[in-house]
Structure 1
Amino acid sequence: MAKLNSSNLVMGLLLMFCCLGAYADAKSPALTSFDRSKLSQPQSLIRVSGNKLLDESGKQVILRGVNIADPAKIFKQQQWSLSLFTELKAWGVNVIRLPVHPSAWRTADKDNYLALLDEAVSWANSLSLYLIIDWHSIGYLPSNTYQDKMYDTTLEETKEFWHIIAQRYKNVPTIAVYELFNEPTDLGQKAGKANWLDWKNVNEQLIDIIYAQDKNVIPLVAGFNWAYDLRPIAEHPIERAGIAYTSHPYPQKTSQDLNSNKDNNFTLWQRDWGFAASDYPVIVTELGWVQADGYGAHIPVKNDGSYGPQIVEFMEQRNISWVVWVFDPNWSPTMISDWQFTPTEQGAFFKQQLLKLNN
């Protein structure tokens, strides 16, 4: 979703630019393994079984949490710290999604960016929280067309990223999910008409790269229309085991009206993505709203607030995991209005839900 002041995303973060060799170059410093001595707490691996996520004891896991901003952005603002993760724990989360923008990854020295992810792993583990690493691009990889410069990437770079991440964090249980590509879209056919079979093939290539390093992680696959629509999987699912699917069902995906009609929402959500939860784990990795006159209001997130209870009810009825966008005062729709963690309208609602449902 929207990132305000995006031109400042990575400015001032790191010491230098660098060119990383091909992702198969095992001599690269970026391909070293995470130091597991930094894990202070035991955590269960999470695996896929049918349409459920299970821990090692066979207990079903429902992930409920929040997105933060790109770690590079938070670091630049001097807010990247254990105290941020401790605050998230106090809000009741059991998972945090880390959106890694290709522009930030590419601009930064890879080892410096990985150091931020290492800290996230250590902090999350110390608080018994799980992580989702998200390759946060918007566009269409097969045609190399993207919504904004911050999302520009290539298939080669995307493969390289997942090779590095999968090798570095092999068998680290804290990182439960790898979200392969944030929001695939043909940008209203500016990228040409998106083809599901082409997109399916791209995702299967990425999954193979990850599984060659680590089979104890869950690849997460998004559908078209900015990761909203999963209908193509009914006939052509991803042909790899152990995966989950995601949707980003913001309120105006079903209607431009600011007041959500529950019957209409439930019907369209079930048709467009909810059906997948009958056969696969579904993890909604972005949802949220803001009033039409609120900070950062834009389509598709404007709503009068009626959306919140409806989307939570829909997901909970189907054991769908969910991660709210976004625990940041600058990117919208915001959950906090400042770095003192003052909740916004949606922030207060989701904090109450997280504390109730996760505890």
Structure 2
Amino acid sequence: MLLVNNFSTLAQGLSMLHAAGTKMQDANGKEVVLRGFNLGGWLLQESYILQTDTLNSQWRIKQGMLRTMSEAEMEDFYRQYRANYITKADIDFLAKQGFNCVRLPFHYDLFLTAAQRHARTEVIRDPQNAKKLAAYVQSLSTWYDQNQLFTDQRLEGFRQIDNVLSWCAANNMYVILDLHAAPGGQGTDRNINDNFRPLDMWKRRDAKGRAIYQDITVRFWEKLAARYKNDGRVAMYDLVNEPHNLNAANGMSPDNKELSAFYARLITAVRAQGDQHLLLLEGNGYGNEYTNLTPDKLAIRDKSNLAYNAHRYGCPNTADAADANPNQINLIKNLVAFRDRWQVPVWVGETGENSNDWFATAVQILKDQNIGWCHWNIKRVNSQASLLRIKPYGSILTPEGRAALLHNVQFANCIPSRDVVAALTQPSSFTAPFAPLTIPGTIQAADYDLGRAGVAYQDAYSAKVDFKVDTPWNLGGAYRNDGVDIQLSSDSPKNGFSVGHLAAGEWLNYTVRVASSGAYAVQLRVQPAATPGRLTLKLGDAVVGTIAINQQSNAAEWQTVTLTTAPLPAGQHTLRLCIDQPVGQISWLRFMPAGRASAGGE
């Protein structure tokens, strides 16, 4: 792995952060720009992270398990899962890459006692049963009135937070505490907030007419503030993750009045504990829209140490792209203008789920504006976009699948994505070999250099800049997270991948070491297209060979074609494979001294 420390503002000797105008500063007045990773999928499972999309949320995963196992067995599995998914090894790895913070998303149910969580599990068994849900809400009301919520300091939620704080402090990293699944659910998307009913946080009333889920959330932050108010390892409290669909269509105000009033309650409650931590607010619309949430609109006395959040996915990364609504701040121009208008720190609490080229562009433009960020996500099953790829495990609803998952999520068994690390930590001009390549020898087409589009490769479509467009940047969906379209291929037995979906003008760079000067015979393993193709090889700027490839006569037929290069000088060079006219797929290139070529396979 690349062990990169490319960030100029690492937290040194962690101390409480505070807002100083638009900046976050430590106790010594030194600016701290937080750049790190989200630990998503750990203390709250999101179905797409585990590739259980048909189950849609954590409670539905649990519901499926309860069909074949007891509640005690299910709880034991989840204890093992949480023990394996994130450990000190994961945090140490993040620190070695140069990241200085983690955001810790968690579910409120980890702060319930076993008996209290059992009451919630009874709803999970039959969530459409209104009587069961009402009974759970009544139980919550009783526990709330009797001050029996979040009082046991031995609860797993507290223990997990303390573990992360300890692991991060050992690496000089800050932690952002993120209530990702709030009581009742802060929106309509149950995959994010694990709710039984849409918007229940805002709409549910108990027998006394109270918005009980909101009351419980206030109580929750009172308890966390009392515990961590003097803890400098905590950078910020992220009070509620991604409120969304709070609008007139769902029977609420069109201008965030409910959210504004709730934030006022939360902020006041935290400050009443004597806690001056930075408080991170998230706007409506998945964390981005701040009408009636600006400092002047919040009904609070103490407006200090507030920070504002943006979540950036599938949007343009240009400095001039803007939204007509100045309170919609996921686009850079709006984000900067909002920061400067209100003189508050802004922070991109989630960003990612895109190509390496998009990552690198986002990091650079945020760096130019001195805005920190937290990448989503550290781990995903079989995803090249995550920092650590979890190998496929089967089904979480089978004993074999669960056993494999517990094994595969462990740090030692995950596959680091070196290209993702490079995109997030290296300058835009960075390039490096992806694999050691020598001539003579065989070069796998998918083993082109590390680096962004226009530097290590060129592809017609290399980043998603419109969230409404679902076209993947890697149309093959395999191996790497670039715009290059890589797919599984049985014709490439060495690494199992080929490059396809080619277009004229695309190219791939390979850093190669030529052992001895001279001309070489080059075999190219290709699948022809429906039209004639033509490929060119360059060494540096010099063309060293070109070959025409006949159009496809037999579907899926692979061919080995051969060209002879001009003399190649010895030493390290950049070899470029240019697509003048596309072929169907390219599997590998084999270089042999001229006159010694054979028709053998890879």
TM over 0.5: yes
Task: Assess if the C-alpha contact under 8 Å between 2:320 and 2:333 holds in 1.
Answer: no
**Residue in 2 that maps onto 1:280:** 344
Aligned pairs (5 A) from 1:100-139: 100-106=106-112, 111-137=155-181
User: Which SS does the other structure have where 1:183 is aligned?
Assistant: coil
Structure 1 residues 198 and 127, CA, compared in 2 at 3 Å: closer, same or farther?
same
Structure 1 residues 164 and 46, CA, compared in 2 at 3 Å: closer, same or farther?
same
The answer to whether the aligner puts 1:197 opposite 2:257 as a matched pair is yes
Task: Assess if the C-alpha contact under 8 Å between 2:108 and 2:183 holds in 1.
Answer: no
- Pick the aligned partner of 1:179 from 238, 241, 245: 238
Structure 1 residues 263 and 116, CA, compared in 2 at 3 Å: closer, same or farther?
closer
Task: Assess if the C-alpha contact under 8 Å between 1:184 and 1:226 holds in 2.
Answer: yes
Deviation at 1:80, TM superposition (A): 3.2
Q: Distance in 1 between matches of 2:158 and 2:382?
A: 23
Structure 1 residues 263 and 101, CA, compared in 2 at 3 Å: closer, same or farther?
same
The answer to whether the aligner puts 1:80 opposite 2:142 as a matched pair is no
Structure 1 residues 318 and 264, CA, compared in 2 at 3 Å: closer, same or farther?
closer
Count the aligned residue pairs. 292
Aligned pairs (5 A) from 1:132-147: 132-137=176-181, 145-147=187-189
**Residue in 1 that maps onto 2:217:** 158
Q: Distance in 1 between matches of 2:353 and 2:183?
A: 22
User: Which SS does the other structure have where 2:37 is aligned?
Assistant: strand
Aligned pairs (5 A) from 1:248-259: 248-252=311-315
Q: Can you list the C-alpha shifts for 1:77-117, whole angstroms capped at 9, x where unaligned?
A: 31332212111111211110000123444476761221111
Aligned pairs (5 A) from 1:282-321: 282-290=346-354, 304-321=355-372
Task: Assess if the C-alpha contact under 8 Å between 1:136 and 1:151 holds in 2.
Answer: no
Structure number with higher helix proportion: 1
**Residue in 2 that maps onto 1:55:** 26
- Pick the aligned partner of 1:336 from 362, 365, 388: 388
Q: Which runs of 5+ in 1 are unaligned?
A: 1-40, 253-259, 291-303
Deviation at 1:229, TM superposition (A): 2.5
Deviation at 1:168, TM superposition (A): 1.0
Q: Distance in 2 between matches of 1:235 and 1:251?
A: 28
User: Which SS does the other structure have where 1:86 is aligned?
Assistant: helix
Deviation at 1:194, TM superposition (A): 4.5
With the length of structure 1 as denominator, give the TM-score of the two structures. Answer: 0.71
User: Which SS does the other structure have where 1:216 is aligned?
Assistant: coil
Q: Distance in 2 between matches of 1:147 and 1:130?
A: 29
Deviation at 1:118, TM superposition (A): 1.0
**Residue in 2 that maps onto 1:246:** 309
Task: Assess if the C-alpha contact under 8 Å between 1:138 and 1:146 holds in 2.
Answer: no
Structure 1 residues 343 and 208, CA, compared in 2 at 3 Å: closer, same or farther?
same
Q: Which has the bigger relative contact order, CA under 8 A and spacing at least 6?
A: 1
Q: Distance in 2 between matches of 1:331 and 1:118?
A: 30
Structure 1 residues 247 and 349, CA, compared in 2 at 3 Å: closer, same or farther?
same
- Pick the aligned partner of 2:377 from 307, 326, 339: 326
Structure 1 residues 177 and 328, CA, compared in 2 at 3 Å: closer, same or farther?
same
Task: Assess if the C-alpha contact under 8 Å between 1:139 and 1:185 holds in 2.
Answer: no
Q: Distance in 2 between matches of 1:322 and 1:133?
A: 15
**Residue in 2 that maps onto 1:32:** none
Structure 1 residues 264 and 106, CA, compared in 2 at 3 Å: closer, same or farther?
farther
Task: Assess if the C-alpha contact under 8 Å between 1:186 and 1:192 holds in 2.
Answer: no
Q: Can you list the C-alpha shifts for 1:17-73, whole angstroms capped at 9, x where unaligned?
A: xxxxxxxxxxxxxxxxxxxxxxxx952221111111111111111111110125436
User: Which SS does the other structure have where 2:19 is aligned?
Assistant: strand
The answer to whether the aligner puts 1:262 opposite 2:318 as a matched pair is yes
The answer to whether the aligner puts 1:209 opposite 2:253 as a matched pair is no
Q: Which runs of 5+ in 2 are unaligned?
A: 1-11, 45-77, 118-149, 196-200, 202-212, 325-330, 391-410, 431-602
Structure 1 residues 263 and 113, CA, compared in 2 at 3 Å: closer, same or farther?
closer
Task: Assess if the C-alpha contact under 8 Å between 1:138 and 1:184 holds in 2.
Answer: no
Aligned pairs (5 A) from 1:13-24: none
**Residue in 1 that maps onto 2:14:** 43
Task: Assess if the C-alpha contact under 8 Å between 1:231 and 1:271 holds in 2.
Answer: no
Q: Percent identity?
A: 23
User: Which SS does the other structure have where 1:337 is aligned?
Assistant: strand
**Residue in 1 that maps onto 2:423:** 349
Task: Assess if the C-alpha contact under 8 Å between 1:138 and 1:226 holds in 2.
Answer: no
Deviation at 1:236, TM superposition (A): 4.6
Kindly provide the amino acid, as one letter, of the partner of residue 316 in structure 1. Answer: K
Q: Distance in 1 between matches of 2:420 and 2:253?
A: 35
Structure 1 vs Structure 2 CA RMSD = 3.2
Q: Distance in 2 between matches of 1:319 and 1:161?
A: 33
User: Which SS does the other structure have where 2:380 is aligned?
Assistant: coil
Task: Assess if the C-alpha contact under 8 Å between 1:162 and 1:210 holds in 2.
Answer: yes
Task: Assess if the C-alpha contact under 8 Å between 1:139 and 1:147 holds in 2.
Answer: no
Q: Can you list the C-alpha shifts for 1:289-339, whole angstroms capped at 9, x where unaligned?
A: 23xxxxxxxxxxxxx544323322332222212111110123975222134
Q: Distance in 2 between matches of 1:326 and 1:58?
A: 31
Deviation at 1:344, TM superposition (A): 6.7
Q: Distance in 1 between matches of 2:105 and 2:382?
A: 12
Structure 1 residues 187 and 216, CA, compared in 2 at 3 Å: closer, same or farther?
closer
**Residue in 1 that maps onto 2:141:** none
**Residue in 1 that maps onto 2:280:** 220
User: Which SS does the other structure have where 2:175 is aligned?
Assistant: strand
User: Which SS does the other structure have where 1:83 is aligned?
Assistant: helix
Q: Distance in 2 between matches of 1:331 and 1:147?
A: 23
Kindly provide the amino acid, as one letter, of the partner of residue 151 in structure 1. Answer: D
Kindly provide the amino acid, as one letter, of the partner of residue 284 in structure 1. Answer: V
